[in-house]
Structure 1
């Protein structure tokens, strides 16, 4: 063996020994535990003719009140519970994870009952801490009831009832200004009216379908052509006649 060959072997051995700690360090980092902290990023904008926010209709939930479900890449549940109770120092194996956040339920309908939901996938690095903001969106539709001044001047008393596709009945008495949160697919509306002459009347049920989540709909009632006995109701910029069981002039 030549002198040069001996030197080359010596250099290769030295290089291999030098690389060993780096390789071990990388392997240890990959095998080490990491951790994660969560926050909620709520898209509270609502689609209407004029843009508005959920906060225009109800109080927004506190971040800590959201329920989160954390799962790993094998769909094993790591945590399920309130975000405020999650221990962000909890050790997690390095790898891929998914977290779902929710607040409320679309089946729980009524005033002040928004439902938010969202999901995020992320990775945890060994030995590091990951910060994850979970995007959530409004899953309900919002329903408001309004009456024109002309309607109010003709009727001394009135009330409306909205029934959802899930069977929830929501009363909108005279002067109600709050908005109701409902599951986003269908509603029907009916009403009881008393005209200036004290004559009680019933507004026949009308149905509205294909509601969208994250959208505010306004049911606006008006009296049109009083002499012809017509009530109109506008919904999502569409104006329709609403029938009563007694003529307006009776």
Structure 2
């Protein structure tokens, strides 16, 4: 009896060992990642004067950095709000990934808004813990502004505004000492000056053409006398302009000359207009008239609109110096412009009315912002840019089931539920017997609140027809069938 028990225990142990070996040899399909994040907070000075202050920055702790893991084929993605939230025991499917650590947001510009980013590839292997080291550096551009003592004494008031392509207009007041962080690329510089005698004006004297991530630009403003003894403004921001500053005439004659001005119709700058998707605004007359007595040198249109960007609309464009391809996109989507054919023109006109019929809500993004700034040949700009803000309201648009039509009939009446401002924007079509799309002519027979009875033309047939209605080139559609 004793011997029998021993054999039984031995068999049980053998079975357990066998199962353990099988489990060890089999594939689980998962691995894990051990992450280490570090940050190099140094920036790259672009002038001798920025070298000493290059490391004076408010440094976020790496524990505040967020993490994101994305597979190389895009099929897997996971994010963690902070490094502290990441559990090294988390099971990750086997595969190739890119892991990134970041702090801030490249699209959020402003004072004390640094964006740090680091990323590295990682291979997750079955039942293994892969180590990942990520070093983060500044991924946007640091900008500070400095005024000389002579400059401060000469002007009664002053400020400087910077603007990155497609980004915000960020103003440095006369007392501002903080750094602003903006997107890499072109950065324009505007300065507003008020003399002791009360004369004031705003100039756009310079632009940083290719600011790179991690660079620190210190914009310095000073004054000096030219050979004729007249005071001029000097601006420097890199090694070249530090040696040979950009010089601007700030004589009373130039400063009192009229700057480019705007006349607005149908909206107030910065005050949102509400409009249904794909529909005209209540005031079918939304435009801007521009006057530049000093001759237009540039007119910048900056756009923030997810729906327009999805159709190829540029985030930022100079209406005077755009390409024909860019001009065609603006025309196709409804923007009408006049007077921007060449440098030196003294008047311009921008009509946004038709553009409203292209605006829609995408991914819950219902805001559209258009910012316009103009510069004349003296470098003078209007005191502040003009902003047209549009908030889209969701549109109700459905085709209800029509009554049956007689065989051989060449028309049908379609009930359309539509709460837009213009039913004529709706276009109807169907596929004929050969499978070709045929556009229908349509006539509104009656309307009761938002329900329209629309008569459309169709070919005579004894088969069901699928009817499609579309707005703005098919960007919003509804369908029904007649039989």
Q: Matched residues in 2 for 1:233 and 1:152: separation?
A: 14
The question of 1:38 aligning with 2:35 is answered yes
Indicate if the aligned counterparts of 2:147 and 2:222 stay in contact, CA closer than 8 A.
yes
Q: What is the aligned partner in structure 2 of residue 242 from structure 1?
A: 248
Q: Matched residues in 1 for 2:52 and 2:29: separation?
A: 46
Q: Shift of residue 93 of structure 1?
A: 4.8
Q: Deviations over 1:77-98 (max 9, x none)?
A: 2522323322221123555432
Q: What is the aligned partner in structure 2 of residue 79 from structure 1?
A: 78
Give structure 1 stretches of 5+ with no counterpart.
Answer: 1-20
Q: Shift of residue 150 of structure 1?
A: 1.5
Q: Matched residues in 2 for 1:99 and 1:71: separation?
A: 7
Q: Matched residues in 2 for 1:213 and 1:78: separation?
A: 26
Q: Shift of residue 242 of structure 1?
A: 2.4
Q: What is the DSSP-based 3-state SS (H/G/I as helix, E as strand, rest coil) of the residue aligned with 1:205?
A: strand
Number of residue pairs matched by the alignment: 226
Q: What is the aligned partner in structure 2 of residue 206 from structure 1?
A: 205
Q: Structure 1's 99 and 53: CA in aligned 2 closer, same or farther, altered over 3 A? A: farther
The question of 1:105 aligning with 2:111 is answered no
Q: Matched residues in 2 for 1:25 and 1:242: separation?
A: 80
Q: What is the aligned partner in structure 1 of residue 220 from structure 2?
A: 220
Q: Shift of residue 52 of structure 1?
A: 6.3
Q: Which structure is higher in strand share?
A: 1
User: Any residues of structure 2 matched to 1:81-96 within 5 Å, and which?
Assistant: 81-82=80-81, 83-93=83-93, 96=96
Q: Matched residues in 2 for 1:79 and 1:54: separation?
A: 35
Q: Matched residues in 1 for 2:189 and 2:93: separation?
A: 53
Q: What is the aligned partner in structure 1 of residue 235 from structure 2?
A: 233
Q: Deviations over 1:173-212 (max 9, x none)?
A: 11211111011112222222233x4333224112312111
Q: What is the aligned partner in structure 2 of residue 60 from structure 1?
A: 59
Q: Structure 1's 126 and 175: CA in aligned 2 closer, same or farther, altered over 3 A? A: same
TM-score (norm 1): 0.76
Q: Structure 1's 78 and 157: CA in aligned 2 closer, same or farther, altered over 3 A? A: closer
Compare CA radii of gyration and give the structure with the larger one: 2
Q: Matched residues in 1 for 2:34 and 2:151: separation?
A: 53
Q: Matched residues in 2 for 1:192 and 1:243: separation?
A: 14
Q: Deviations over 1:65-112 (max 9, x none)?
A: 323221345543252232332222112355543212222222211101
Q: What is the aligned partner in structure 1 of residue 367 from structure 2?
A: none
Q: Matched residues in 2 for 1:84 and 1:153: separation?
A: 51
Q: Shift of residue 220 of structure 1?
A: 0.6
Q: Shift of residue 114 of structure 1?
A: 0.7
Q: What is the DSSP-based 3-state SS (H/G/I as helix, E as strand, rest coil) of the residue aligned with 2:252?
A: coil
Indicate if the aligned counterparts of 1:67 and 1:102 stay in contact, CA closer than 8 A.
yes
Q: What is the DSSP-based 3-state SS (H/G/I as helix, E as strand, rest coil) of the residue aligned with 1:199?
A: coil
Q: What is the DSSP-based 3-state SS (H/G/I as helix, E as strand, rest coil) of the residue aligned with 1:56?
A: coil
Q: Shift of residue 224 of structure 1?
A: 0.8
User: Any residues of structure 2 matched to 1:53-202 within 5 Å, and which?
Assistant: 56-57=56-57, 59-72=58-71, 74-82=73-81, 83-93=83-93, 96-195=96-195, 197-202=196-201
Q: What is the aligned partner in structure 2 of residue 10 from structure 1?
A: none
Q: Shift of residue 29 of structure 1?
A: 8.1
TM-score (norm 2): 0.42
Q: Matched residues in 2 for 1:73 and 1:217: separation?
A: 36
RMSD: 3.1
Q: Shift of residue 245 of structure 1?
A: 6.6
Q: What is the DSSP-based 3-state SS (H/G/I as helix, E as strand, rest coil) of the residue aligned with 1:84?
A: helix
Q: What is the DSSP-based 3-state SS (H/G/I as helix, E as strand, rest coil) of the residue aligned with 2:192?
A: strand
Q: What is the DSSP-based 3-state SS (H/G/I as helix, E as strand, rest coil) of the residue aligned with 1:45?
A: coil
Q: Matched residues in 2 for 1:135 and 1:114: separation?
A: 16
Q: Shift of residue 137 of structure 1?
A: 2.0
Indicate if the aligned counterparts of 2:141 and 2:213 stay in contact, CA closer than 8 A.
yes
Q: Shift of residue 128 of structure 1?
A: 4.3
Q: What is the DSSP-based 3-state SS (H/G/I as helix, E as strand, rest coil) of the residue aligned with 1:76?
A: coil
Q: Shift of residue 118 of structure 1?
A: 1.9
